[in-house]
Chains A and B, each alone.
Chain A
Amino acid sequence: MPAKLQIPPPTLLQLFMAFARIGLTSFGGGLSGWLLREFVETRQWIGREEFLNGLAVAQALPGINVTNMSIWIGYRLHGTIGSVIGVLGILLPATTLIILLGILFGTLTDVGPVQVALVGAAAAAVGLPMHLGVTMVLHLRRQVLPVAIMVISFLAVVWLHVPLLWVVIGLGSVSVTLEWVRLRRGKP
């Protein structure tokens, strides 16, 4: 077994810069993959096991996965202040950039071709959640219960306009309880 390398923990500035870099360079989602590469593989600031534990929690809890992960990693490395720096690093620079982009496109929308291009861009962009949606449906367990819960949550939001919070709390508690019972019985 190779000797474990002792990597010194990053300073707060290094931590901020690492998160900022990911926030500014990762396009098209999948940021958690970038975090794995940067923090576990390249810099080796945190172990793979610890990272994956965090990812499971980040995905299970509500909240944006990547922000949840930045809190997790930040906390592991520098406690409370680390988690604050992590979130700020991932959000602050990227927020500034997106607003600048918005202003840029906002001043250009009166130009005919820009508007046409934006419609095309928007149409292609809708493909992203569509792809995600199809992937999620395909990975759902082929049983009545998960499918029914999916259909009900779709209809509740689109048709009945039930506030999202109530969908997640109401339907979520039913669904999570049923899964818990299933796991307790040791079903796969």
Chain B
Amino acid sequence: MKDVLWDLAAVFGPLSFGTIGGGSSAIADIHYQVVEVHSWLDETQFVEAFAVSRLAPGPGSLFVALLGWEIAGLPGALVATLALFLPTALMMYGVAAIWSRYRGATFLNAMELGLRPIAAGLILAAVFVLLQSLNGGWAARGLAFVSAAVLMRTRINPILLILSGAGLFLIYDTVLA
């Protein structure tokens, strides 16, 4: 048990600095570590935890709390969450404390602009990995694309969209069965 907790901290701690432009950028690497390297969860468990995390309120990155919970119960949830949030939280705290000295500095703009394409690449990696993890074949993948298209065109509430996805699959399953 202790070993698992240590491994969780060792996996999620470094990932903390990879969460640029939001937590989704770390999903591809989280998947690789949790499913492929450590075999803590299988593809289905992983993608289902992702779905639950998108249905829940709050920061989407609490996804890792859920993964930690499934891997090692309450201690797992605490360790995974702390490991992912604490390192960058301390960094932000440091900047908040010394901010007045660096107001409007060029390097902050450079940092924001420079990290943007990396964040974009990492989000695409997350999408790629999640699409591969989906079971339900091409119907599920097709639904993911439709869902993205709906989000681009409308201001639909994401919860409604996810529930509609669940409903559509229930109907699809009943009709085919």
**Could you list which residues of chain A lie within 8 angstroms of chain B, going by C-beta atoms?**
23-29, 31, 53-54, 56-68, 71-72, 75-76, 80, 83, 87, 90-91, 93-95, 97-99, 101-103, 105-106, 109, 113, 116-137, 139-140, 145-147, 149-154, 156-158, 161, 163-165, 167-169, 171-172, 175-180, 182-184
Which of A97, A126, A163 is close to B130, meaning CB atoms less than 8 Å apart? A126
Say yes or no: B18 contacts A167, CB within 8 Å: yes
CB neighbours of B53 from chain A (8 A): 98
**Interface hub of A54, A118, A182 (most chain B Cβ within 10 A):** A118
Say yes or no: B52 contacts A60, CB within 8 Å: no
Distance of A108 from chain B, by nearest CB (Å): 11
- Complex-state Cα separation, A72 to B91, whole angstroms: 11
**Could you list which residues of chain B lie within 8 angstroms of chain A, going by C-beta atoms?**
14-29, 32, 47-62, 65-66, 69-70, 74, 77, 81, 85, 88-89, 91-93, 95-97, 99, 103, 106-131, 134-136, 139-141, 143-152, 157-159, 161-170, 172-173
Count of CB-CB pairs between chains A and B under 8 Å? 365
Say yes or no: B89 contacts A134, CB within 8 Å: no
Say yes or no: A61 contacts B91, CB within 8 Å: yes
Given contacts A125-B165, A180-B106, contact A27 B159 (CB under 8 A): yes
Say yes or no: B116 contacts A146, CB within 8 Å: yes
Is the contact region of chain B dominated by helix, strand, or loop, or is it mixed?
helix
CB neighbours of B115 from chain A (8 A): 60, 62, 168, 172, 175-176
- Complex-state Cα separation, A59 to B164, whole angstroms: 32
Distance of A49 from chain B, by nearest CB (Å): 11
Which of A67, A97, A165 is close to B57, meaning CB atoms less than 8 Å apart? A97
Say yes or no: B62 contacts A95, CB within 8 Å: yes
